[in-house]
Amino acid sequence: MKYRLTGQPDGEVVVLSAGLGGGAGFWAPQVPTLETQFRVLHYDHRGTGANRAALPEGYSIGHMADDVLEILDDAECPTAHILGHALGGLVGLELARRAPARVGRLVLVNAWAQADRHTARCFDVRLGVLASQGTGAYVAAQPLFLHSAAYASAHHEKILAEIEHGTATFQGEDTLRKRIGALHAFDVMTDLPSIRHPTLVAAAKDDLLVPYTASEALAAGLPNATLWLTDHGAHACTVENPAPFNAVMMNFFSATPNGFQPLALPP
């Protein structure tokens, strides 16, 4: 697995785990802030970007967690914090469940313990578009699920560039279906009480893809979690409205044990 490390050579490690797209570039709005204090580990999920490869049958979130452990071993990182978005948040939960000593703190953005019916319906629609209209239509529809209408309108040229890039680097239908199958099958609800890591659960109330109530349920089930909600930003709230999230994220990662206090920021 290819990866790279940036930021402070002697800092604590923060692993960036992206969502369904799999690319580490998703976290570009957070990287400069993180690099001021931490050693940042960037990687593309297996099957995507720099780590394109065929995925096995029965591919699971467990396989994705194994990839992170392999990377941490190769980088000689005994422990790391995990910053995960949606599917990447599930990877963080799986790591905390199966290798708790390797995980410091968790920041889970628009994630869930159990896939919501609405989220499953959205993925069914997206796969239907892919099957009936092809890659171009699938990628063109993606911003509808990621961004708010106001952001997409105000950043029209940026969205067009993202669609062009996404079409050129599309992970492939087989890979996409296996990755969606993995997130559908993931269910950690009954194991949440045993995941005792300090956790920041962040969500946007206007997320079209994942109801923020899924984050509320996730935070309620984790014994050492803090919930932070923002009114605006949609599924890609870390991209649309990074400043308040970055402040809360850094406050959380930098806090002394049991010393985190959510910042009083506007939503």
Q: Could you read off the pLDDT of 216-240 as tens digits, one per residue?
A: 999 999 999 999 999 999 999 999 9
Question: So what's the pLDDT on residue 267?
Answer: 46
pTM listed for this prediction:
0.94
Kindly give the parts of the chain with pLDDT less than 50: 263-267
Question: So what's the pLDDT on residue 255?
Answer: 80
Both tokens of 241, joined, read 């409205």
Question: So what's the pLDDT on residue 147?
Answer: 97
β-bridge partners, 16:
42, 83
C-alpha distances (whole Å) from 217 to each of 82, 107, 113, 213 are 20, 15, 8, 6
**Which tens digit of pLDDT belongs to each residue from 90-136?**
999 999 999 999 999 999 999 999 999 999 999 999 999 999 999 99
Question: So what's the pLDDT on residue 11?
Answer: 96
Question: So what's the pLDDT on residue 256?
Answer: 63
Closest by CA to 206, choosing from 122, 125, 149, 264, is 149
Measured between alpha carbons, how far is 257 from 263 in angstroms, rounded to an integer? 16
Q: Of all helices (H) and strands (E), which one includes residue 150?
A: helix 149-154
Question: So what's the pLDDT on residue 257?
Answer: 60
Closest by CA to 191, choosing from 98, 117, 107, is 98
Under 8 Å between Cβ of 102 and 69: yes
Under 8 Å between Cβ of 184 and 123: yes
Instruction: Tell me the torsion sign for CA atoms 38, 75, 89, 224.
Output: negative
